[in-house]
Amino acid sequence: MNSPTTTPTRPLNTTSQVTFRTPEVTDGGALWMLARGAGELDVNTSYAYLLWARDFASTSIIAESGGLAAGFVSGYLRPEQPQTLMIWQVAVDQGFRGQGIALRMLHELTDRVTGATVLETTITDDNAASIGLFSRFAESRSAEIDRRDLFGKGHFPDAHDAERLYRIAPLR
């Protein structure tokens, strides 16, 4: 199957199976469209998603169903702490929400990234969906969540809300 280039516009067909794989450069456009359609994410340039699919593919994942990009998780291993998988963005297309795809992608990716014992992400206090997702992830792994301030409003040059660090461990 060739990599999808657009996000879905129809609801999930419950008879279609969701598969997970490592993104490729040709997925960069689909990642950008998913991020743009997510509503809660800071959307970067399409160029950034092409680079992400090239340079951080081994620490990212894409979900597909019926030839459509259903979602993605982008992450990287922190250079100073290579056992820490930092999750940058999680997006699921509206037509595929409510199927547990985001949680399944986190589990699949975490299991693929060997050596990672800690997962980190940042979440704004008003993002209930992400707080719920990462809380469910930690609970399903019997892991603890350490929440602390990371980037306050004063760190941002624009009107960005403060980002709180969620550190989940141990993963295994």
Q: List phi, psi (to 5°) of 171.
A: -80, -25
Residue 12 domain-assigned (yes or no) = no
113 located within any domain? yes
The answer to whether residue 153 sits within a structural domain is yes
CATH number of residue 28's parent domain: 3.40.630.30
Q: Does residue 8 sit within a domain?
A: no
Domain that holds residue 38: 18-169
Q: How far apart are CA 121 and CA 102, in angstroms?
A: 14
3-class DSSP assignment, residue 26: helix
Instruction: Give the pLDDT of residue 51.
Output: 96
- pLDDT tens, the chain, 172 aa long: 344 444 444 444 444 699 999 999 999 999 999 999 988 788 889 999 999 999 999 999 999 999 899 999 999 999 999 999 999 999 999 999 999 999 999 999 999 998 899 999 999 999 999 999 999 999 999 999 999 999 988 888 888 889 999 999 999 7
In a domain, 22, yes or no: yes
Amino acid at 24: E
- What's the confidence (pLDDT) of residue 16? 66
β-strands 18-21, 61-65 pairing: antiparallel
Q: Quote the pLDDT of residue 128.
A: 93
> Does the residue 9 lie in any domain?
no
Look at residue 23 and tell me if it is in a domain: yes
Number of domains, the chain = 1
Within-domain flag for 100: yes
Query: Cα separation of 143 and 85, whole Å?
Result: 14
The pLDDT value given to residue 104: 97
Placement of tokens 């950034």 in the chain: 48
- Nearest one of 166, 163, 140 to 152, comparing CA atoms: 163
Q: State how far the Cα of 165 lies from the Cα of 162, in Å rounded to an integer.
A: 10
